[in-house]
Structure 1
Amino acid sequence: MTLPSQATPAAARRRIWTLAWPLILSNITVPLLGLVDTAVVGHLPDPRYLAGVTLGATLFSFLYWGFGFLRMGTTGLTAQAAGRENDSEVRNLLGQSLLLAAGIGFGLILLSGPLIALGLRLLDGSDAATALATEYARIRILSAPAVLANYAILGWFLGQQNSRVTLAILVLTNSVNIVLDVLFVIGFGMTVDGVAWATVIADYTALAFGSWLVGRQLKLLQGRFLRERLLRLLAYRQLFQVNGNLFIRTLGLLFAMAFFTSRGAVQGDTVLAANAVLMQFIMLVSYAMDGFAHAAEAIVGRTVGRRRWDEFGIAVRAAAEFSLITAAAASLAFILGGHALIALLTGLPEVREAAGTYLPWMVAMPLIAVWSYLLDGIFIGATAIREMRNSIFIALAAYLPLWWLGQWLAPSGYENHALWLAFLTFAMVRSAVLLGYYWHHRRTHWC
């Protein structure tokens, strides 16, 4: 399987953009589904239905984000195999990732009772909302094998520099989900069970479509599936090493985000709401920066597989250019229109005022966090995952003590500024550590 070259800066920029724009559009479709869920359930006669769906959806967002390594690990390893033009390895990585996804997915179903109970206890909703969230979660967990298999399929296609499949699958998933949401809840009079079943059916529809696309792609590949690669546990060692470190790294990120939210919550509802509004800005910017980072994963992985370090450097520079332009544009937008954006997200005067007070932290965030997004993509493509894991631990070692010190030293009323400073420091330290690893490897391994 021959992939297009990106041996010149212009070619690399074109390739980065070609891969990135479908990924950016794919990311934009994700919040659209949440808006439709909210609109449909929000018209039911009791607010506890919306609270229940919100709790349940939050639980699955955290759960599935934790297993995002199935997408990332598959992308990096597949990209390197494609760079070596080893079609048998490309095939067998798909088989291994799908079997791993199936094992985890069915394991989650078997353990769903205690997992759901523990997760909802940690989210600490009202009794009525928790009861409805439990009903929602018991249905939605049934699609865990499909969700995780789709992660593997998306990573496999991205590793072969095919990002349009991601857009096609996510658009189909969300379209089916939205139509069934309306049909089940408004048409059939269902409640949280209707929303959950809509998601389950959409997930399995996506898996069926993705499997069809996989079948078409396999016809273009040479090589064959090898039984010993699929059935021998030792053959999974590299996949386990990569995915294990990615899982630990993701747990660290989840902890950092959850800690930020919880420390804002203890300062009162207004601060919690203001932080939530500003975090939506971070999510918005991440849609674009993730697109360029994912494109870097595929291209960097290919150059590593081919051992073409000249193309490696060109690809990194091209991805960095797009990422930095995006970060600078985001910061400028927050400077010029941050207060207007806040007003779009909340009509509560006290929340608007609080969010405006902390807006300067949001202006700085894209320019600092951009490096961690970009370098994550580079390190995933190069499967240098231990470095990513270590960067999280080092960043947490700065984040937590600085937060504690800030709460102790900050004047009254400035505790949330101290929290934002600690969170910004977390992003800064992670970026700095990854940059240090990058320059070390560029001199010693990637050269």
Structure 2
Amino acid sequence: MTTPTSAAPTLRRVAGLALPALVVLAAEPLYVLVDTAVVGHLGRTPLASVAIGGQVLTVAAWLGTVLAYGTTGRSARRYGAGDRAGAVAEGVQASWLALAAGLLIAVGAQVFADPLARTLAGNNPDVAAAAAHWLRVAALGAPGLLLATAGNGWMRGVQDTRRPMYYVLGANLLSAAACPTLVYGLHLGLIGSAIANAGAQTLSGALFVRALVAERVSLRPHPAVLRRQLVLGRDLLLRGAAFQASFLSAAAVAARFGAAALAAHQIALQLWFFCALVLDAVAIAAQSLVGAALGAGEDEQAKALARRITVIGLVSGAVFAAVIGAGAGVLPKLFTSDPQVFAQAMRAWPWFAGMLPLAGVVFALDGVLIGAGDVRYMRNLTVVATLGGFLPAIWLAYWLHLGLAGVWAGLTLFIVIRLVGLLARMRSGRWAVVGATR
């Protein structure tokens, strides 16, 4: 496999992988934004309930991200070494792990929805009850969600980002159309949102399973490969656990400032996730290209790709910052007509917009290190940023009654700590290890 050495081909290759991946990444948060807008006009309590239930369900998305990122790195190295069949085989084993994890989440949500919702909702029993009801239904889509993310992982590894675009976009467009119909047309209210959510995930997962079967490779589970994937996934899992602890704690703190603050946090957070996942398209290109370059033994090319992808991430983040900042008076009103919710959103907005250029660099460098398989360093850095930055900052915001602005200041600190650590790792060059496996 030959990697380009000039700037223009590199940009074309990044764009060729990133743009279809951008559609995939944007499809899910766009659907969530549509869902948030539909539910938001049911009232403050339903919107706050989705904020709680949605935060719990992001555990499934987190596990899916772990599977996808770990699979992309391993598949890309094998693909770069000329072993496409081996790259696809990584996807088969990841799909078995995805199915098992998805079923556990779906069953666990039926059992633990009530205590989780009560814990996160604080002293608001109406929000807790509605959140638990929503979560039980929406969690039925967890197996499909995880199968889809595993499918995305191996397809990105073999540098096929077009088919995932069609699969994910089609399923989410169908459900985005179904959501208002179920909520308002069929008068199902909040549960209509959960049904549409689960339907999108199930359909998407089925499409990725069909693509895997069409590759005509062995579909049997192989314990040795599963163990290796689990070892790699362990560090990504701990890294993801730090993220989940951060965002669940942020929701819990926001809930303690009142329903209006929690609803505003949901609006800002979903827009933040949308920006983050769109910016992550650059990281996905980095995973695939850097992993393939290292698999082919081209460590200098991998370093050149890392430098260029860092610049692309910075520019992309700055563009999002300009859009979010300019839309401060308009964007929150798309999701709520409650003046108290809007006022609370404005407290988070300066932090939200200001961190985006830094986040663009962080997400790009995350992709470089995942593609390189340098996940242990990423784990340690994320844990330090969580325990030493985010969690102390948001609970201090609660104790000092700093409100939603304090919560979002904590998120900014989290990004800054990670940025410093990632830049130091890039400068060291110790992440660029060549070979078909690491």
TM over 0.5: yes
1:177–1:201 Cα contact (<8 Å) kept: yes
Tell me what 2:86 maps to: 89
Counterpart amino acid of residue 68 in structure 2: R
SS in structure 2 of the partner of residue 119 of structure 1: helix
User: Which is higher, the Rg of structure 1 or of structure 2?
Assistant: 1
**2:352 is the alignment partner of 1:362:** yes
Residue deviations 1:53-94 (CA, integer Å, cap 9, x gap) = 665444323433244211111111111111111233213212
Counterpart amino acid of residue 368 in structure 1: L
Please give the residue correspondences for 1:122-271 in structure 2 after superposition, counting only pairs within 5 Å.
122-124=119-121, 126-127=124-125, 130-181=128-179, 184=182, 190-191=188-189, 194-216=192-214, 218=215, 225=218, 230-232=221-223, 234-268=224-258
Please give the residue correspondences for 1:42-441 in structure 2 after superposition, counting only pairs within 5 Å.
55-124=52-121, 126-127=124-125, 130-181=128-179, 184=182, 190-191=188-189, 194-216=192-214, 218=215, 225=218, 230-232=221-223, 234-268=224-258, 272=262, 275-334=265-324, 336=326, 338-341=328-331, 355-356=345-346, 359-399=349-389, 403=393, 419-441=407-429
Separation in structure 2 between the aligned mates of residue 32 and residue 360 of structure 1, nearest angstrom: 22
Separation in structure 2 between the aligned mates of residue 343 and residue 40 of structure 1, nearest angstrom: 13
Residue deviations 1:343-366 (CA, integer Å, cap 9, x gap) = 656655565555555544334312
SS in structure 2 of the partner of residue 292 of structure 1: helix
**Taking structure 1 as the reference length, what is the TM-score of the superposition?**
0.82
Would you say how many aligned residue pairs link Structure 1 and Structure 2? Answer: 434
**2:5 is the alignment partner of 1:15:** no
2:374–2:431 Cα contact (<8 Å) kept: no
Separation in structure 1 between the aligned mates of residue 244 and residue 34 of structure 2, nearest angstrom: 25
How many Å apart are 1:189 and its aligned residue? 5.2
* Identity %, equivalent residues: 25
Separation in structure 1 between the aligned mates of residue 37 and residue 270 of structure 2, nearest angstrom: 18
SS in structure 2 of the partner of residue 144 of structure 1: helix
- How has the CA–CA distance of structure 1 residues 127 and 97 changed in structure 2, closer, same or farther, with 3 Å as cutoff? same
Instruction: State which drifts further: 47-56 or 285-294.
Output: 47-56
Separation in structure 2 between the aligned mates of residue 128 and residue 88 of structure 1, nearest angstrom: 52
How many Å apart are 1:106 and its aligned residue? 2.6
How many Å apart are 1:253 and its aligned residue? 1.0
Residue deviations 1:378-415 (CA, integer Å, cap 9, x gap) = 1111111111110112112431586389669x9x8767
SS in structure 2 of the partner of residue 68 of structure 1: helix
How many Å apart are 1:421 and its aligned residue? 4.0
Separation in structure 2 between the aligned mates of residue 127 and residue 353 of structure 1, nearest angstrom: 24
- How has the CA–CA distance of structure 1 residues 330 and 82 changed in structure 2, closer, same or farther, with 3 Å as cutoff? same
Counterpart amino acid of residue 84 in structure 1: A
Structure 2 unaligned regions, length at least 5:
none
How many Å apart are 1:446 and its aligned residue? 6.5
Separation in structure 2 between the aligned mates of residue 155 and residue 303 of structure 1, nearest angstrom: 17
1:154–1:165 Cα contact (<8 Å) kept: no
How many Å apart are 1:369 and its aligned residue? 2.2
Moved over 6 A (4+): 46-51
- How has the CA–CA distance of structure 1 residues 134 and 313 changed in structure 2, closer, same or farther, with 3 Å as cutoff? same
Q: C-alpha root-mean-square deviation of aligned residues, in Å?
A: 3.6
**Taking structure 2 as the reference length, what is the TM-score of the superposition?**
0.84
How many Å apart are 1:181 and its aligned residue? 3.8
2:372–2:433 Cα contact (<8 Å) kept: no
